[in-house]
Amino acid sequence: MIEKPILKGDQVTLRSITKEDAPQMFAALSDEESMKLTGTQATYTLEQVEAFCEKISTADDRADYAITINDDLTYVGEVVLNNIDWDNRNASFRIALGNQKHFGKGYGSEATKLIVAYGFENLKLHRIELEVYDFNPRAQHVYEKAGFVREGLRRDVLLWEGQYQSAIVMSILVHEYQAL
């Protein structure tokens, strides 16, 4: 199991996701804009979300953090390093705020910076990568501000409401992080 210390910024605190977060995580799965931005098309039951929360708490190839605002430790979203490849010291990144009322306030930017620092400083990763859909320029801007570099495009990977969308591949390397 990966050690997941609490990560505190000016606006957000990141803490391990627990089974107690399942109701808020489940509620986030009904926010249409959040679902679109993450490309989530499946539907889940509360029981499935609870089982997922329990499973990830002991995984050794991922670090799942709840995004909370200031000292209120209530789940408002999540930020994750997953698919950790320990041999090659790389991981995938994803983030989701669970409700549109939290958009545009800097929470995602700060959570991104905190988890990237954790990945490089605590987990000793060399590379962190992500995919962002081409219809989400706000997220692309956040990732670029955090030091991610565009690498390429995965064409037509998501069929959303009858139209194909492409995913932009971005990454940040440890030396790029250190230069920030």
Residue 25's CB is within 10 A of a number of other CB atoms, namely: 22
What pLDDT is stored for residue 25 in this prediction? 93
The model's pLDDT over 105-140, given as tens digits with 9 standing for 90+, comes to: 999 999 999 999 999 999 999 999 999 999 999 999
Quote the domain boundaries for residue 175: 7-179
Strand ranges, E, within the chain: 7-8, 12-16, 63-69, 72-85, 90-97, 127-133, 149-160, 163-173
> Which pTM value belongs to this model?
0.93
Residue 1 lies in a domain: no
Average pLDDT in the 48-59 region?
Answer: 93
Q: What is the pLDDT of residues 83-114, one digit of tens each?
A: 999 999 999 999 999 887 888 899 999 999 99
Q: What is the CATH number of the domain that holds 166?
A: 3.40.630.30
Cα distance between residue 148 and residue 164, in whole Å: 24
Q: Fill in the amino acid letter for 25.
A: M
Instruction: Summarize the confidence of residues 144-155 as an average pLDDT.
Output: 97
Any idea what DSSP says for residue 67?
Answer: E
pLDDT of residue 70: 86
pLDDT in the model for residue 29: 86
Residue 2 lies in a domain: no
Closest CA to 125 of 111, 135, 115: 115
Q: Considering the domain boundaries, does residue 52 fall inside one?
A: yes
Domain total for the chain?
A: 1
